[in-house]
């Protein structure tokens, strides 16, 4: 697929063109070059994004990372940084967006990001976090209070009942 078609596919998914989408688009293309990866039909590729901004949409479209598949995870630091892991060969890379010139309008920022090659936009660093395990499938239980089905990893035992997070009263001796 050519770059223009791929970009248009990202825009269609995201809903509009913007600098943020461009950041994720360029990060995904750079990760492809650095790790020798392609679209991930399952969990062969993992992305840990340090933000939940526009660029994540491009990563989903281009690389096939998604929350539902378990290969798109968030480690919220507020940084425009993305760690990519290739489970097939063990390689990984963390891409951190370089600072752009100050005082740009949104339109100028968009034009700036569009005009740059990925290697001009990102610092390539070693990943900080270990490769996460593959997504698990958990048993489900019915909450004894609300009757809604909840994954086992989210059930709490309280007073002999299985309760979901919403129904379980929290215990914290420091918050009275």
pLDDT in tens, 10-62: 999 999 999 999 999 999 999 999 999 999 999 999 999 999 999 999 999 99
Kindly report the backbone phi and psi dihedral angles of residue 80, in degrees, each rounded to the nearest multiple of 5, phi listed first. Answer: -85, 75
CATH of domain 136-176: 3.30.60
Q: Where in the chain is the domain with CATH 3.30.60?
A: 136-176
Q: How far is C-alpha 140 from the geometric centre of its chain's CA atoms? A: 25
Distances (CA, A) of 22 to 90, 110, 120, 173: 27, 7, 13, 46
> Chain-wide mean pLDDT for the chain?
95
Q: Where in the chain is the domain with CATH 3.30.1330.130?
A: 3-125
Q: What angle do CA 136, 138, 144 make, to 5 degrees?
A: 155
Per-residue confidence (pLDDT) for residue 173, from 0 to 100: 76
pTM comes to 0.87
Helix (H) or strand (E) holding 20: helix 19-35
Assess if CATH 3.30.1330.130 describes domain 3-125: yes
> Among 18-27, 73-82, 128-137, 144-153, which stretch is predicted with the lowest mean pLDDT?
128-137
């Amino acid at each position: 697929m050519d770059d223009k078609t791929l970009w248009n596919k990202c825009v269609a998914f995201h809903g509009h063109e913007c600098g943020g989408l461009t950041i994720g688009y360029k990060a995904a293309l750079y990760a492809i070059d650095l790790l020798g990866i392609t679209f991930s039909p399952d969990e062969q590729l993992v992305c840990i994004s340090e933000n939940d901004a526009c660029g994540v949409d491009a990563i989903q479209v281009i690389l096939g990372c998604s929350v539902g598949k378990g290969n798109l995870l968030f480690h919220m630091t507020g940084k425009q940084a993305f760690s990519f892991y290739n489970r097939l060969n063990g390689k990984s890379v963390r891409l951190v967006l370089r600072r752009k010139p100050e005082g740009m309008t949104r339109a100028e920022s968009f034009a700036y990001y569009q005009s740059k090659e990925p290697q001009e936009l990102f610092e390539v660093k070693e990943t900080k976090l270990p490769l996460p395990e593959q997504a698990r499938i958990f048993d489900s239980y019915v909450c004894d209070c609300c009757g809604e089905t909840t994954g086992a990893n989210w059930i709490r035992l309280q007073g002999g009942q299985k309760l979901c997070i919403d129904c379980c009263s929290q215990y914290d001796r420091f918050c009275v």
